[in-house]
Amino acid sequence: MSKLGKTNAEFELIEEGDKILVGLSGGKDSLTMIHAMREQQRRAPFKFDFIAVTISYGMGENYDDLSTHCKKYDIEHIVIDTKVYELAKEKIRKNSSFCSFFSRMRRGYLYTAAQDKGCNKVAIGHHLDDACESFFMNFIYNGQMRSLAPKYKAENGLIVIRPLIGMRERQLKAFVDDNNLNAIGDEACPAMRFDVKMPHARANMKKMLAKMEEEFPQLFTNLNAAFKNISVDSFFDKEKFSL
């Protein structure tokens, strides 16, 4: 909660009067996030509301346990049923990557739900490991210096926030394990249901960063600092030369 509060203060993620839609997959990241935000409601010197929303892909998922969990902790929860899985069978070619398709569709449904519910912000559960992995994925595979911003405005005007962006993935896993929470794992992944190419880029980055961290224990601390200390005029973009 201390890290969450510092991150929120630094980037002004959650503010007075906000109504926030929180994407809740039921995995360790989003499950930690709803509990952290519930606790932040109790601690913060300002008022805000949030609602947890789960997107069902139409694969026969059962989110009754997740809904019961939210009810137990007085967290409003809605499950939105979609036909994304059936649509994917038509849109995704055999042996092609699927992650971007499902991510794009899920995000679209969350944005629509946010607007329908009168929310001004959408919170998603990316953490520091995600940001670092995304940076190296873009660097190595796309030739681009790009990561995950703590806060940005979507094209439809909604503000998207990442309250856990300062956290390590292992911290979120520890929270779930220490509190015996029943987090949803890979069984909810659509890739397990039909023949598509399994994503390898992020898995490769996880392995690479784990090896680097063994040799350089301050790796993630320094990457976190570097993301806030960017000397754009030192790269090869002539538009940003300081002349």
3-state SS of 169-180? HHHHHHHHHHCC
Q: Which CATH class is domain 2-229?
A: alpha beta
Query: Pick the residue with more confidence: 22 or 189?
Result: 22
Q: Name residue, tokens 């690479």.
A: 208
Going by C-alpha positions, the residue among 183, 163, 172 that lies closest to residue 66 is 183
The predicted structure's pLDDT at residue 216: 98
Q: Cβ contacts of residue 165 below 8 Å, gap of 6+?
A: 7, 11, 126, 127, 128, 131, 148, 150
Query: Pick the residue with more confidence: 192 or 40?
Result: 40
pLDDT band at 137 (very low <50, low <70, confident <90, very high): very high
Whole-model pTM over 0.75: yes
Q: For residues 87 and 118, give the distance between their C-alpha atoms in angstroms, rounded to a whole number.
A: 28
Q: Interior CA angle at 110 toward 109 and 114, to 5°?
A: 120
Going by C-alpha positions, the residue among 64, 45, 33 that lies closest to residue 167 is 33
- Is residue 102 within 8 A of residue 88, CB to CB? The reply is yes
